[in-house]
């Protein structure tokens, strides 16, 4: 049996402006909420809409790009993976959270999307040694 990859792609709109924080050790993190909407016909043939809200976490340079380029209402494509965690709240109750840990995003708003796509040369110099 082949392995199954944890991969998520969402296309939706931001419900709030990005919340960006710098953690104690200097790491930057951004949190956004994305609304996705599905349209379908119910058993009576009427069109229905169902909106689902997704929590998304973006780290370091991606958090910076998020803060600079996204705002409430932005139409985006998010790529990442599902991540689950738990914590204990102030009252001692254990809480469980499932969120998308983004590894890339693309702004789909037509007038603002031009500056967000990295060129292959930018990816090479950031992530890899050049082969020549």
Distance (Å, whole) CA 14 – CA 54:
10
Q: What is the pTM of this model?
A: 0.74
Give the residue ranges of the chain where pLDDT is below 70. 1-2, 111-132
The pLDDT value recorded for residue 2 is 67
Burial of 32 (C-beta count, 10 Å sphere; 0-12/13-18/19+): buried
∠84-29-11 over CA atoms, to 5°? 65
Q: What structural domains and CATH numbers belong to the chain?
A: 8-127 (2.40.50.140)
The pLDDT value recorded for residue 10 is 96
The pLDDT value recorded for residue 110 is 77
């Amino acid at each position: 049996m082949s392995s199954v990859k944890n991969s998520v792609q969402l296309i939706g709109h931001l419900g709030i402006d990005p919340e960006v924080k710098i953690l104690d050790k200097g790491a930057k993190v951004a949190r956004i909420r994305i609304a996705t909407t599905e349209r379908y016909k119910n058993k009576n043939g009427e069109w229905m809409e169902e909106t689902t809200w997704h929590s998304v976490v973006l780290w370091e340079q991606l958090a910076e790009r998020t803060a600079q380029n996204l705002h409430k209402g932005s139409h985006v494509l998010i790529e990442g993976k599902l991540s689950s965690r738990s914590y204990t709240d102030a009252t001692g109750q254990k809480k469980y959270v499932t969120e998308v840990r983004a590894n890339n995003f693309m702004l789909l708003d037509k007038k603002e999307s031009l500056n967000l796509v990295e060129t292959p040369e930018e990816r090479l110099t950031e992530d890899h040694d050049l082969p020549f």
